[in-house]
């Protein structure tokens, strides 16, 4: 991949943004900052407001209130064509009757660029995405991944301040999605362009992003690096939505956690005030301590299910017929086996 790094990437500020369709609130007082040159992802399930937020930033939708700044410029009043943005659509949005050259050059022609500038910029964009030599083809002659790269080139050829990508990989098969993630990340880093990426795919978000905003029902639940989002989720929703999480309701009493069914779970170093709490831990943090008599923070469980997943085995275990939770191991155990385990890392959240 070739390209020049942007020496002056744009910061973005979203403040108190609200948007409703009729009586249905879609965005509820959304605020966050995006750093210059950052790859920032809006992550959430369908209907959470992430695409509406992206369209408000682009100007395709008008927010009811709040502000959107590119650097020091308030871009809320501007139409999409008045903003210096590049937008990559989910369905490629290429003109099937036009050549690849004309698809990429379309925006430049609308801006009345001269023919020499158009030729040079289209050649640069095709070189950037490693598709030089496809100028005379039509979109139908290219694969889905190649078409999506053409749509990225079309957005970048205009030298935008900000690149916006709306689930651009959702129409591709699994292996091609993985390759395209690497391509998009490489292009973005080489150009140093501030980018906002919308996806419902957690793995995609964790791999691509400098930071992530997790969204739910029009609210931003947490903003953080992929490591922060996964390792120290700020709330039970984020812990459950990003990755897999065991969540058990109970009570902390004198440094001990007791489930609602009355079973005590030994935990290392519970430093929390007494009261109702939600215990959360990842399946990979359920550590085997053998089949012998448990000691210390270990406790006895019985395997109820064991499912081979290729690079790991997902087990389901029961504790005193009270609760069940998932564990990820390398070994595959027969249902009914008794094991000694320990929870090596966990978080508590308040129960309202």
Please write the tens of the pLDDT for every residue from 13-61.
Answer: 999 999 999 999 999 999 999 999 999 999 999 999 999 999 999 999 9
What's the distance, CA 138 to chain centroid?
A: 32
**Predicted local confidence at residue 1, as pLDDT:** 44
Which two structure tokens, joined as six digits, stand for 188? 């973005």
**Predicted local confidence at residue 268, as pLDDT:** 82
Nearest to 69 by CA among 34, 45, 97, 93: 34
* Beta-carbon count within 10 A of 157 CB: 23
User: CB of 129 within 8 A of CB of 188?
Assistant: no
Q: Taking each helix axis from N to C terminus, what angle separates 174-191 and 144-156, rounded to the nearest 10 degrees?
A: 20
pLDDT surpassing 70 at residue 230: yes
SS3 299: strand
Nearest to 226 by CA among 50, 54, 46, 41: 41
Write down the pTM of the prediction.
Answer: 0.91
**Every domain of the chain and the residues it spans:** 12-240, 246-350
User: CB of 252 within 8 A of CB of 272?
Assistant: yes
The whole-angstrom separation of Cα 234 and Cα 220 is: 11
Beta bridge partners of 300: 340
Based on the number of CB atoms within 10 Å of its own CB, is 67 exposed (0-12), middle (13-18) or buried (19 or more)?
Answer: middle
Express each pLDDT in 254-291 by its tens digit: 889 999 999 999 898 888 889 999 999 999 999 998 66
Q: What's the pLDDT band for 92 if we cut at 50, 70, 90?
A: confident
Q: For the chain, report the end-to-end CA distance as a whole number of angstroms.
A: 51
- For domain 246-350, the CATH architecture is Beta Barrel (2.40)
Average pLDDT, the chain: 92
Nearest to 108 by CA among 120, 91, 126: 120
Beta bridge partners of 198: 42, 166
The whole-angstrom separation of Cα 200 and Cα 263 is: 36
Lowest mean pLDDT among 208-212, 237-241, 309-313: 309-313
Residue scoring higher pLDDT (315 or 321): 315
Q: What's the pLDDT band for 326 if we cut at 50, 70, 90?
A: very high
User: CB of 326 within 8 A of CB of 335?
Assistant: no
Per-residue CA distances from 318 to 185, 281, 308, 322 (Å): 42, 15, 18, 7
Nearest to 37 by CA among 183, 187, 188, 168: 188
The whole-angstrom separation of Cα 52 and Cα 47 is: 9
Length of the chain: 352
**Predicted local confidence at residue 289, as pLDDT:** 85
Give the mean model confidence (pLDDT) for residues 223-252: 96
Q: Which fold has domain 12-240?
A: Rossmann fold (3.40.50)
Q: What's the pLDDT band for 292 if we cut at 50, 70, 90?
A: low
């Amino acid at each position: 991949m070739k390209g020049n790094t942007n020496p002056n990437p744009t910061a973005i500020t979203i403040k108190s943004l609200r948007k409703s369709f009729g009586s249905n609130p879609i965005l509820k007082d959304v605020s966050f900052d995006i750093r210059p040159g950052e790859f920032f992802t809006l992550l959430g399930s369908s209907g959470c407001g992430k695409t509406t937020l992206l369209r408000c930033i682009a100007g395709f939708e008008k927010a009811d209130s709040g502000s959107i700044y590119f650097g020091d410029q308030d871009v809320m009043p501007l139409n999409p064509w008045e903003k210096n943005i590049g937008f990559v659509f989910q369905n490629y949005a290429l003109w099937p009757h036009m050549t690849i050259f004309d698809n990429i050059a379309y925006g430049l022609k609308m801006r009345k660029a001269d023919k020499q500038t158009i030729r040079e910029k289209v050649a640069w964009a095709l070189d950037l995405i490693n598709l030089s030599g496809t100028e005379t083809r039509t979109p139908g002659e290219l694969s889905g991944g190649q078409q999506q790269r053409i749509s990225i080139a079309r957005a970048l050829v205009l030298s935008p301040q900000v690149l916006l990508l709306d689930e651009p990989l959702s129409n591709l098969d699994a292996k091609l999605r993985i390759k395209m993630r690497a391509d998009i990340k490489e292009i973005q880093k080489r150009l140093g362009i501030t980018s906002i990426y919308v996806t419902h795919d957690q793995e995609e978000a964790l791999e691509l992003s400098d930071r992530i905003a997790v969204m739910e029902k029009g609210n931003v639940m947490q903003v953080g690096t992929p490591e922060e989002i996964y390792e120290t989720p700020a709330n039970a929703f984020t812990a459950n939505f990003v990755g897999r999480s065991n969540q058990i309701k109970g009570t902390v009493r004198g440094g001990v956690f007791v489930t609602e069914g009355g079973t005590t779970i030994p935990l290392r170093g519970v430093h929390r005030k007494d009261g109702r709490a939600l215990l959360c831990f990842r399946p990979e943090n359920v550590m085997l301590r053998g089949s012998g008599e448990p000691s210390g923070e270990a406790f006895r469980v019985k395997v109820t299910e064991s499912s081979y997943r290729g690079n790991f085995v997902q087990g389901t275990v029961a504790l005193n017929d009270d609760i069940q939770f998932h564990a990820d191991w390398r070994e595959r155990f027969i249902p009914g086996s008794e094991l000694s385990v320990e929870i090596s890392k966990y978080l508590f959240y308040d129960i309202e």
